Amino acid sequence: MTGHLSRLDPQSNFSMIGAFANYSNTDSYTGGIFSSLYWDANRNKLKAGIAGGRINNDYDDYLGTGLPVKTEDNLKGIFARYSRLFAPNWYLGFQAVSSNYAIGAEGIADGLMEQIGLTGFDSNGIGLALEFDDRDDVRNATKGQYFILSNIAYRESLGGDESFDVIQGDYRYYFPFGEGHVFALQAKGRWTYDAPESGYSSLQLRGYTRGNYLDENYTHLDMEARWKIHERWGATVFAGLGCLYDSFSECDTGEHLYPSGGAGITYLLKPKAGLVIKAEYAVGEDDNSAFYIKLGQAF
C-alpha cells in the first residue's frame, strides 16, 4: 500500500490518495485506488475507491446447509460518497456504489482490502448518508464522537441484477484517560431487506474472514484500549462481540454470536495527519484467528 497526504487548504484535515495490492494463499488477489478528501475548511468531503481482482472462497459449510461450496469470481467495484456540512458537526451526503459483489460493497472506500464475497452479480445502488463528527482527529481520535446512518437502494432499474435495500449504522465514542491513553467504543450494524444471499451482511470483527459468515442482518460491539507507551509507540487491547441474525431475538442464542479479542502494537507514522501503522493479532471462535499489519486505527 502506498499513499500521499496533503492539505487542500490550511483549515481542512489532511487528505489522502493511495493505492494498494494484496495476495492470499487461496490464490486470490485484489488491487485498487482510493481517496479521502477534505476541503473548504472541512465543509466538503469525498470518499471514493475503485477495486478489482480475483476472489476464491472455500466453504466447508455454506450458510449452515452442511454443503461444501467453492467459488471463484472476478471482483470489480466502485464507490463514492460526497458529504456537505449543513450544521455544526453535521453532514448530509449522497453515495453510489456499483459492484459485482454486494457483500459489504457499500464500504469499499473504507475497507478496500477486505472485499471478500460469494459468486457475484452486478449490483448498482444509490443512497443518502447522515453524519455527526466532533472528533479531534478523524484518523486517530482521542476524544469525541462519530455517527453515520446511511442507506443503499440497489435497483434493477439502475442496471443491477437484483433490487434490495441496505441500511448501515456506525457509532464511535472516544474517551481519553491517563497520560495520552484512549478508550474507544464502536457499535455497528448492517440490515438488509429482500436481499439475495450474495447481498447478505457479513461478520466484520477482527479475527474473522469477511464473507465467511453471513446472514440478513449484522450488529457488533467493539471496544479497544489504546495505550501510549513511549513517544510514537503504543499498544492496543481489544474485545468485541458480533451477531448475525434474521431477527434480533436470535442474538440470545450462542450459535448466532461471535466473540473476538486480541492485542497489538502501534506506531504513529505521521503525527500531524494522525496516521498510525499497527500490527495486531486477533482470535475468534472455532479456530478463527488473524494477524494484521495495516495503516489506520480499526475505528
* Average pLDDT by stretches of 10, the chain with 299 residues: 92 93 82 94 94 78 71 80 97 91 49 38 88 95 96 91 92 95 97 88 88 90 96 96 94 91 96 92 93 89
Give the chain as a DSSP string: -EEEEEESSTTSPEEEEEEEEEEETTTEEEEEEEEEEEETTTTEEEEEEEEEEEEEEEESSGGGSS--EEEEEEEEEEEEEEEEEEETTEEEEEEEEEES--TTGGGTTT-GGG---SS---EEEEEEEEEEE--S-SSS-SSEEEEEEEEEEE-GGGT-S--EEEEEEEEEEEEEETTTEEEEEEEEEEEEES--GGG-EE--STTS-TTSSEESEEEEEEEEEEEEEETTEEEEEEEEEEEEESSGGGGGSGGGEEEEEEEEEEEEEEGGGTEEEEEEEEE-STT-EEEEEEES---
**Predicted TM-score (pTM) of this structure:** 0.86
pLDDT number for residue 212: 78
pLDDT number for residue 47: 93
